[in-house]
């Protein structure tokens, strides 16, 4: 009876796996289709095992966040493509009688948001040098710029001459910018919660600043989405 024996260095216990005494598998035969798997037999043993019941759970949060943002980006992509579809199907866009969008305020807003992406990066640089004061300064500034952006958007909403239900363009305008505004709000809350946590001494440091990084990545994401949104809604 053919058997395969393994000696496992990690445990030094003998491992015996009994395999089938199948005569077919002994001879190379066209019906015995094992060839495709032959690579699999080249696996080397590595002894990774230690008495390792207490190792820390590996930290893949940044990777997970980026995967999440890809999914989040797909919602926006879906909405953007829906917007383009509505636009391409309409005989006239924006529909006749829609007041023209003012460019100055949203232009300033765009500059503020893009600038805030540069500002928040300074915080990342600071905390990598273990400079918590710098982190707080730059994060505080970013939060202010975010709030400024949101205020600007609310001001714009209140002065527009069309409402949510005026026509298809108006509806897409409010839903797209509103959904983005919701993300900016979440971003500001994330930044503020990082600020709150940074009050605790030693909470963030050179080697321990996931919260800072995550808030920054999220903020850049919100920024990129806005640039696309701005081009789609205001410039095109």
Partner 1 sequence: MTAELIIPNEPKDDDVVIHHRTWKDYFTFSTDHKVIGIQYFVTGFIFYIIGGLLAEAIRTELATPDADLVDPSTYNSMFTMHGTIMIFLWIVPAGTGAFANYLLPLMIGARDMAFPKLNAVAFWIIPPTGLLLILSFFLGPAQAGWTSYPPLSLLTGKVGEGIWIMTLLLLGTSSILGGINFFTTILKMRVPSMSMMQMPLFCWAMLATSLLMLIATPVLAGALILLSFDLIAGTAFFNPVGGGEPVVYQHMFWFYSHPAVYIMVLPFFGVISEVIPVHCRKPIFGYGAIAYSSMVISFLGLIVWAHHMFTSGTPPWLRMFFMITTMVIAVPTGIKIFGWLATMWGGKITLNSPMLFAMGFISTFVIGGITGVMLAAVPFDIHVHDTYFVVAHLHYVLFGGSVFGIYTGIYHWFPKVTGRHINDTWGKIHFVLTYVGFNVTFLPMHVLGLQGMPRRIAMYAPEFQGLNQVCTYGSYVLAISTVPFLVNAIYCAYKGDKAGSNPWNALTLDWQTTSPPEIENFEVLPVLTTGPYDYGDTTEVEESPEVLTTTGG
How, if at all, do strands 14-18 and 3-7 pair? antiparallel
Is 97 an interacting residue with respect to partner 1 (CB under 8 A)?
no
* 210 part of the interface to partner 1, by CB under 8 A: no
Enumerate residues 37-66 that contact partner 1 by CB under 8 A. 37-53, 57-58, 60-61, 63-64
User: Minimum Å distance from CB 12 to partner 1?
Assistant: 9
Q: How far is the CB of 123 from partner 1 (least distance, A)?
A: 25
**Residue closer to partner 1 (CB basis): 72 or 156:** 72
Beta-carbon contacts of 31 under 8 Å, excluding residues fewer than 6 positions away, are 24
3-state secondary structure of 133: helix
Rank residues 36 and 158 by Cβ distance to partner 1 and give the closer one. 36
155-184: which residues touch partner 1 (CB under 8 A)?
164-165, 167-168, 171-172, 175, 179
80: Cβ contacts below 8 Å, ≥ 6 apart: 176, 228, 229, 232
Query: Considering Cα of 209, then 133, then 190, then 158, what sign does the dihedral take?
Result: negative
Answer for the pair 197, 112: CB distance below 8 angstroms, yes or no. Answer: no
When the beta carbons of 76 and 218 are compared against partner 1, the nearer one is 76
Interface with partner 1: number of residues (CB under 8 A): 79
Q: Cα dihedral angle (165, 166, 171, 177), rounded to 10 degrees?
A: -110
Among 68-76, 101-109, 132-140, 213-221, the segment contacting partner 1 (CB under 8 A):
68-76
- CA neighbor of 179 nearest in space, from 84, 98, 77, 94: 77
Quote the CA–CA distance of 10 and 143 in Å, as a whole number.
52
Q: How far is the CB of 70 from partner 1 (least distance, A)?
A: 6
Instruction: State yes or no: residue 89 binds partner 1 (CB under 8 A).
Output: yes
Q: Does 202 bind partner 1 (CB under 8 A)?
A: no
N- to C-terminal Cα separation, the chain:
76
32 binds partner 1 (CB under 8 A): yes
Q: Does 16 bind partner 1 (CB under 8 A)?
A: yes
Among 95, 99, 151, 205, binds partner 1 (CB under 8 A): 95
């Amino acid at each position: 009876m053919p058997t395969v024996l393994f000696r496992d260095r990690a445990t030094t216990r003998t491992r015996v796996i009994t395999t089938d005494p199948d005569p077919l598998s002994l001879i190379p035969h066209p019906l015995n289709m094992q060839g495709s798997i032959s690579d699999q037999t080249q696996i080397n043993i590595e002894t990774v095992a230690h008495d390792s019941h207490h190792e820390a759970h590996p930290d893949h949060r940044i990777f997970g966040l980026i995967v999440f943002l890809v999914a989040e980006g797909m919602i926006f992509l879906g909405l953007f493509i829906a917007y383009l579809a509505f636009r391409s199907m309409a005989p006239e866009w924006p529909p006749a009688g829609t007041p023209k969008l003012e460019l100055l305020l949203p232009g300033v807003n765009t500059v503020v948001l893009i600038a805030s992406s540069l500002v928040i990066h300074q915080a990342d640089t600071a905390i990598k040098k273990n400079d918590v004061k710098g982190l707080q300064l730059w994060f505080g500034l970013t939060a202010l710029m975010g709030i400024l952006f949101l205020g600007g958007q609310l001001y714009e909403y209140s002065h527009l001459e069309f409402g949510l239900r005026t026509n298809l363009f108006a509806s897409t305008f409010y839903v797209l910018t509103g959904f983005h505004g919701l993300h900016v709000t979440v971003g500001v809350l994330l930044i503020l919660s990082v600020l709150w946590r940074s009050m605790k001494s030693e909470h963030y440091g050179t080697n321990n600043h996931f919260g800072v990084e995550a808030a920054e990545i999220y903020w850049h994401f919100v920024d990129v989405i806005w640039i696309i949104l701005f081009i789609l809604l205001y410039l095109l």
